[in-house]
Amino acid sequence: MDLGIKGKRAIVCASSKGLGRGVAEKLAEAGVDLTLNARTEETLRETASEIAGKYGVRVQIVAEDVTTEAGRQALLMAEPQPDILINNAGGPPAGFWSDWGEEEWLKAINNNMLTPILLMNAILPGMIERKWGRVVNITSGSVKSPIAQLGLSNAARSGLTGFVAGTARQVAKHGVIINNLLPGSHDTDRTKGFIERTATAKGISIAEARAEAHAENPTGRYGTAEEFGAAAAFLCSQYSGFIVGQNLLLDGGAFNSTLG
């Protein structure tokens, strides 16, 4: 299927690995030129060169922390007029509700709520003027179904979700479409870390911990970054113009519910 976005330009935040990379790959496959971002320059450079080599699109990199004002400014300097914005950053640490003080809260709110909001604030006016834009925010299944130990994530991402709910409806008439993608468990470095910690805590092998985790999902597995990227690319396509302010859960059916 031709997504109709060949030649468009995208900023993909936090995209040297994992879900962000999965999205970058699928946008590149659709012919989109990319500005990729991550903090570690070496990995980012490798990813950029692999994607450019495989899909023949233009790929530039911005090795900065997207959760800082300087990092966001560097991204916007490199790509001032993106047609597509993918918001993403690392998730906050796990813990117990009483573990977190003001500092931890401000960091989580900055990283997983304010950063995507500030990037949208900077980029939406240009999209509105050009009468076309697509924004996909990578949030988490924890917005819909809380993960108790991820209180910082549950809360900060819910704040972003609230902002998007109203804003998506204000900008849609200008051809600017904003949606959120909510990952359940996907096979990335982040979940590899969880599995390793579970294996250590339970005194079982990593393979056993992985099998247990997979067995908990109705599909019997974790999602892939490729599947995630394909869903995101569709939400950035010419055909997504009537999908506005939605929260699409990609979790293999883990959230048990008759209606979405």
Q: Is 93 in the site for ligand NAP (CB under 6 A)?
A: no
Given the rule CB under 6 A, which of 35-43, 53-61, 98-106, 164-172 is the region that contacts ligand NAP?
35-43
Q: Which is nearer to ligand NAP, 137 or 176 (CB)?
A: 137
DSSP-derived secondary structure for 144-164: TS--GGGHHHHHHHHHHHHHH
Alpha helices, DSSP H, located in 131-205: 151-171, 189-202
Does residue 198 bind ligand NAP (CB under 6 A)?
A: no
Separation of CA 94 from chain center: 19
Name the one range near ligand NAP by CB under 6 A: 38-46, 96-104, 207-215, 241-249. 38-46
Q: Do residues 215 and 193 lie in contact, with contact meaning Cβ atoms separated by under 8 Å?
A: no
Maximal C-alpha separation, the chain: 57
Q: If you ran DSSP here, which 8-state letter would residue 240 be given?
A: G
Number of residues that bind ligand NAP (CB under 6 A): 29
Based on the shown chain and the rule CB under 6 A, indicate whether residue 189 belongs to the binding site for ligand NAP.
yes
Which lies closer to ligand NAP via its Cβ, residue 28 or residue 89? 89
- Least CB distance to ligand NAP at residue 83 (A): 21
* Residue 102 touching ligand NAP (CB under 6 A): no
- Cβ atoms of residues 2 and 32 within 8 Å: no
Residue 140 interacting with ligand NAP (CB under 6 A)? yes
Q: What is the DSSP letter of 6?
A: T
The one-character DSSP state at 94 is P
How many whole angstroms separate alpha carbon 138 and alpha carbon 111?
A: 12
**Toward ligand NAP, which CB reaches closer, 20 or 151?**
20
Q: How far apart are CA 143 and CA 80, in angstroms?
A: 30
CB of 96 to ligand NAP, least distance (A): 18
Residue 37, interface with ligand NAP (CB under 6 A)?
yes
Binding to ligand NAP by residue 188, rule CB under 6 A?
Answer: yes
Asked if residue 17 binds ligand NAP (CB under 6 A), the reply is: yes
Helix residue spans in the chain (DSSP H):
18-29, 41-55, 69-78, 102-109, 115-130, 151-171, 189-202, 206-215, 225-235
Among left, alpha and beta (phi > 0; psi -120 to 50; other), residue 4 is left
CB of 249 to ligand NAP, least distance (A): 10
> Residues 67, 154, 237, 246: which binds ligand NAP (CB under 6 A)?
67
Binding-site ranges for ligand NAP (CB under 6 A) = 14-20, 37-40, 43, 65-67, 88-91, 138, 140-141, 183, 185-186, 188-191
